């Protein structure tokens, strides 16, 4: 069995990735998901976006979610966010922001079936959760809600 912790943590390449997504990080991982963790694995594409409750026309967002044990890797928007969901900054996202390319330090955890991200381990800034067959990505401070459908496993 190849455990998630045996695979080196990935980071966004210098300047972000542009056209083609980097190769999957956890491709060799055979560790099952930890108990109580929601399975969000797959390649996802936006099917609806709302900002402050109003529809947005841009449905270009695509992201890949990889999981193994309590580790999650989200690749999308030019960044690779690789994290262990244990609520610590040390094991969370230590990378750059897709919004301003500045360094970020974000704690990741699972709370009531939601994947929760807390910059500097303070307020909840981002959540991901399943709603039936759709993945809902919410950027809390921006009041932006993106619903995505799986393109492939």
Is residue 132's pLDDT more than 90? yes
Q: Give tens-digit pLDDT for 60-91.
A: 999 999 999 999 999 999 999 999 999 999 99
CATH no., domain 4-152:
2.40.128.20
3-32 burial code (b ≥16 CB/10 A, e <16): ebeebebbebeeeebeeeeeeebbeebebe
Cα–Cα separations (whole angstroms), residue 92 to 20, 50, 87, 95: 25, 27, 7, 9
pTM: 0.96
Q: What is the pLDDT of residue 76?
A: 97
- For residue 42, give both structure tokens: 């797959």
Domain residue limits, the chain = 4-152
**141 pLDDT band (50/70/90 cuts)?**
very high
């Amino acid at each position: 069995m190849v455990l998630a912790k045996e695979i080196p943590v990935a980071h966004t390449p210098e300047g972000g990735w542009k056209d083609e997504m980097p190769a999957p990080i956890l491709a060799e991982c055979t560790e099952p998901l930890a108990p109580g963790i929601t399975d969000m694995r797959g390649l996802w594409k936006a099917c609806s976006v709302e900002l402050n409750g109003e529809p947005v026309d841009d449905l270009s967002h695509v992201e890949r979610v990889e999981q193994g044990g309590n580790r999650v890797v989200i690749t999308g928007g030019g960044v690779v966010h690789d994290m262990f969901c244990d609520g610590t900054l040390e094991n969370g996202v230590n990378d750059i922001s897709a919004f301003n390319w500045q360094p970020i330090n974000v704690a990741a955890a699972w709370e009531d079936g939601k994947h929760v991200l807390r910059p500097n381990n303070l307020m909840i800034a981002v959540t991901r959760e399943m709603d039936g067959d759709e993945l809902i990505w919410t950027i809390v401070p921006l009041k932006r809600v993106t619903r995505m459908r799986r393109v492939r496993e």
